Structure 1
Amino acid sequence: MTMRRMLRNIPRRGGYRGNGGGGGGYNRGNFRFGMVMVPLVATVATVGSLGALTYYYLHMSNFSVKDAFHELNWIIEHPEIRASKSLDTPILDPDYRPQARFARNIVKRHLSTHAYPGATVAVVKDGRLVWAEGFGYSDVENLVPVSHKTVFRVASISKALTAMCALKMWENDQLDIDKDVREYLPDLKLYFRPPGAQEKEVLPMDQKVTTRMLLSHLSGIRHYKEYAEYSQTKHYENVEQALEMFINDELQHMPGEKYLYSTFGLVLASVVMQKAGGMPFPQLMTQTLFNPLDMKSTREESHDVLVPRRGRHYIRVFDKSNSPKESYKSLASSHLENAPYVDNSNKFAGGGFMSTAKDIAKFGYQTICGDFLSKQTQKMMLTPQKQNDGTATPYGIGWSLPVREDIDLERMSGRFCAKHSGGASGGTSMLYVLPEQKIAVAVIVNLQGVNRIAELAEKIAMQFESFDEKAKLPYAAKDDKV
């Protein structure tokens, strides 16, 4: 007997339906059979699903039986914080429906496995926004779903934003990126410690520190000393005030000597840009970068200003018995908490902007593949910068790169990519661009310390790179429509 026929035998208003189809008939045998079989089928389906999950954890991972059931129990108890469900009405280009369907399943599988509260994803291909969608919740406590319009912290992608603004100013003859920053800021003093010296000394002017060095992490300006600087709560009225956190500390090395990733190097760059541009840094970014690229949802973070569709941010707290570096095992004994209050006014240029995934994907495409910057500038920024000894670094101007010297934008071989990741209090982000394939992918998650987000962005990009609908991925369901 089919499920439809069994359901016909369930009591309805006005009597029971019998085999003859009449509204007032009653077939006691079929009714009893239906009342037994319907819950039985539902139970078998549920047990089968849990069994499939258990099989996956036991045979496709290194889980023990105990670990598997802990994880399943955690998933059952916390369905509201699984981001695999999309409650958003996505932006979708009809020409890319198959690609989006496969990419969507990749995202759902990844987010479900790693239990993110929420995420937003966007893809730009050949200059068109072909897919943008939100998953999970931007506010877990109130079950507010993420949409493609949700604004999250983009963290260190702010460095790429700042660098592209500086390069545009350079093209417009507003800023010389190879001039010593002290020529723009005459009162600025930088310090270094000579070998064997007990005290720091003022860096002589013949040791140039340029904006190019600041944007490519070669200046010697230090990074965070401690976590308290990463998540500080003091408010600064402008970018000059934020210099007090680090400017009196000695350089970690002589300018150009080593590659040293530094958020504070970008903060100093923002002060130079502000001086050269003749307006406050946030306004300069809006006028030079955000408005021309139609990035209407991108701005510096402020707790005082009402930001439409701003999402909340979270951290995962692990039991003391488990290490946060453990992946699946730690999920079963962890819980979400609201991210602590932070004030990012100390590092707008290095990690203090907010945006949507579609704004960030659009930015990545237009600056690398589009015509916002000249081809010569694009080639320069996508060339690994060099230390004084000629060693290539893994960073261009504003972008993380494969270490490669023979960059040719016209004839790139292989899968050359430019990218930038970000990690903030309560947030993780990734911008992944394939210049040759003309694809930009942005992923933003409202959870701190997310791993393998670059892998997720790359898998999404691959779906839009060269798509063969017949070569279906094993985890892309045929009936999962976008």
Structure 2
Amino acid sequence: MMEKKFTPPTSMLKTFIPILVVILSFTSCQQEKTANGPIYKRDYKEAILESRKELGAHLMTSFTPGGSVSVSVDGELVWSEGLGYANKELKAPTQRNTKFRIGNSSQLFTAYLIAKMQEENQLHIDSSFYTYIPDFPKKRADFTLRMLMNQVAGFPESSNREAQQLDKKIRTLKDYIKLHENDSLVYQPDSYFLQSNLSLGLLGILAEDISQKRFADLIQETIIDTLQLNNTQLDNTMAIIENRSNTYDRDYIARLTNAPQINLNPLAPALGMLSTADDLNLAAQQLLEPGFFNEETLRLFYEPYQLSTGQRLNSSFGWLVITDREGRKVIGQAGSTTGGASAIAVYPEQKLVVTLCANLGSDFEDLPVMQIANHFLKIIDPKEDAKQE
């Protein structure tokens, strides 16, 4: 006797299909969460555990709601994780693709852009700024693009709260340059160092003028798309930006508050980028060997700048250049702005890159990037005195 095939009634299908859709949607969410979940490489278990304690303690003691970390060795991610909250009110956890304001680390993208434009013979960094922007109001002394990028062009030091202090009418990079175009130099170019947002802004406007493209488009085409930094972009308070962290600040008695809304577009070349620890890590890996940049360009980032007075700075073309206690060379960044902070440490000889992001800016407490790096260096490049400890 032939077995009768069961055909579910239409009413059952109508009930079952919506349930199936819900189940599949939960499955999809779980897969997405896993894709942005932590990465741990077993070989570095002890370093990860110690570093996790270090970062967790920093977040707690500084009352920072959330942050992310990314560590790579020879181009391979060995630890990547989000900790704490991207949104404290909603208790939304930080993930690896959570975008943070990175503050002064934004200048690495400006440095990369100007360096690539030189490689492509669109400009020369030792030329006068006036070679490219002859109508800019003349100052009492000339200055070059290299001086602007090395923060030795003579412009005054920027306030850490400059973004908050901008008039609401200042909406674009051009507005910002127009506001400051008649500012006087405060020292003879190439004789002193002062961190100036205006110096970065002038490089941004120069790049726009040469290419006839907006700064945002130049960064997107030249850096972000080429390196596939899929979670990096210019901040825009008016736009809905997927996976953007909430931003936090402190009031006058150091209590945690929501950060004031600020427009970073006018300061885009200096402060205006959103990114993740993973994307910053990948961007910083370009310093490890020729590829995205040629050997000559890499020397721009590696070699400390020497002033006309003979003094050698602890900075290069948009980067800090120092040595750690064991004499290892470190190329780094430390960025802070209202509602966000970041830190980068690149050990070129050990091919170690450590990057951190957080959703609270601070003028007093640096992210523990060097401390975390030290835990990994004990495995990668142990020194004799470290072994004895």
Q: TM-score, normalised by structure 1?
A: 0.67
The residue identity in structure 2 corresponding to 1:439 is L
Structure 1 window deviating more from structure 2 (371-380 vs 131-140): it is 371-380
Contact between 1:366 and 1:372, CA under 8 Å: does it hold in 2?
yes
Kindly indicate whether residue 177 of structure 2 is the aligned counterpart of residue 243 of structure 1.
yes
Q: Aligned-pair distance for 1:225?
A: 5.7
Question: Equivalences for 1:94-243 in 2 at 5 Å?
Answer: 94-191=42-139, 203=140, 207-224=141-158, 227=161, 230-232=164-166, 234=168, 236=170, 238-243=172-177
Contact between 2:163 and 2:262, CA under 8 Å: does it hold in 1?
no
In structure 1, the residue corresponding to 2:322 is in which secondary structure?
A: coil
In structure 2, the residue corresponding to 1:156 is in which secondary structure?
A: helix
Q: Aligned-pair distance for 1:387?
A: 1.6
Q: In the TM superposition, what whole-angstrom CA distance separates every residue of 1:411-445 from its partner, at most 9, and x where no partner exists?
A: xx821111111110122211111111111111111
Kindly indicate whether residue 40 of structure 2 is the aligned counterpart of residue 92 of structure 1.
yes
Equivalent residue for 1:418? 331
Q: Aligned-pair distance for 1:229?
A: 5.0
Question: Equivalences for 1:448-459 in 2 at 5 Å?
Answer: 448-449=361-362, 451-454=364-367, 456-459=368-371
Q: In the TM superposition, what whole-angstrom CA distance separates every residue of 1:143-192 from its partner, at most 9, and x where no partner exists?
A: 1111111001000001122112211111111221111111111211133x
Equivalent residue for 2:207? 273
Instruction: Find the partner of 1:399 among 319, 328, 331.
Output: 319
Contact between 1:222 and 1:246, CA under 8 Å: does it hold in 2?
no
Structure 1, unmatched stretches of 5+, are 1-87, 192-202, 320-333, 405-412, 469-482
Equivalent residue for 2:386? none
The residue identity in structure 2 corresponding to 1:465 is L
In structure 2, the residue corresponding to 1:395 is in which secondary structure?
A: coil
Root mean square deviation of aligned Cα: 2.3
1 or 2 for the larger relative contact order (CA 8 Å, sep ≥6)?
Answer: 2
Q: Aligned-pair distance for 1:218?
A: 0.9
The 2-side partners of 1:366 and 1:225 are apart by 30
The 1-side partners of 2:363 and 2:65 are apart by 11
The residue identity in structure 2 corresponding to 1:458 is M
Q: Aligned-pair distance for 1:450?
A: 5.8
Distance change >3 Å, CA 460–CA 144, structure 1 → 2: same
The 2-side partners of 1:224 and 1:210 are apart by 19
The residue identity in structure 1 corresponding to 2:154 is G
Structure 1 window deviating more from structure 2 (229-238 vs 293-302): it is 229-238
Q: Aligned-pair distance for 1:368?
A: 4.2
The 1-side partners of 2:142 and 2:301 are apart by 20
In structure 1, the residue corresponding to 2:103 is in which secondary structure?
A: coil
Equivalent residue for 1:14? none
Q: Aligned-pair distance for 1:92?
A: 3.0
Question: Equivalences for 1:71-90 in 2 at 5 Å?
Answer: 89-90=37-38
Q: Aligned-pair distance for 1:126?
A: 0.4
In structure 1, the residue corresponding to 2:166 is in which secondary structure?
A: coil
The percentage of counterpart residues that share the same residue type is 27
Instruction: Find the partner of 1:317 among 251, 272, 293.
Output: 251
The 1-side partners of 2:248 and 2:163 are apart by 19
Q: Aligned-pair distance for 1:309?
A: 0.3
Q: Aligned-pair distance for 1:102?
A: 3.0
Instruction: Find the partner of 1:461 among 351, 373, 381.
Output: 373
Distance change >3 Å, CA 163–CA 148, structure 1 → 2: same
The 2-side partners of 1:176 and 1:464 are apart by 39
In structure 1, the residue corresponding to 2:287 is in which secondary structure?
A: helix
Q: How many correspondences in the alignment?
A: 344
Q: Aligned-pair distance for 1:449?
A: 1.2
Equivalent residue for 1:291? 225
Q: Aligned-pair distance for 1:231?
A: 4.3
Equivalent residue for 2:285? 365
Equivalent residue for 1:440? 353
Structure 2, unmatched stretches of 5+, are 1-35, 381-389
Q: In the TM superposition, what whole-angstrom CA distance separates every residue of 1:62-119 from its partner, at most 9, and x where no partner exists?
A: xxxxxxxxxxxxxxxxxxxxxxxxxx82123454444323322222233223332111
Larger of the two Rg values belongs to structure: 1
The residue identity in structure 2 corresponding to 1:457 is V
Equivalent residue for 1:339? 259
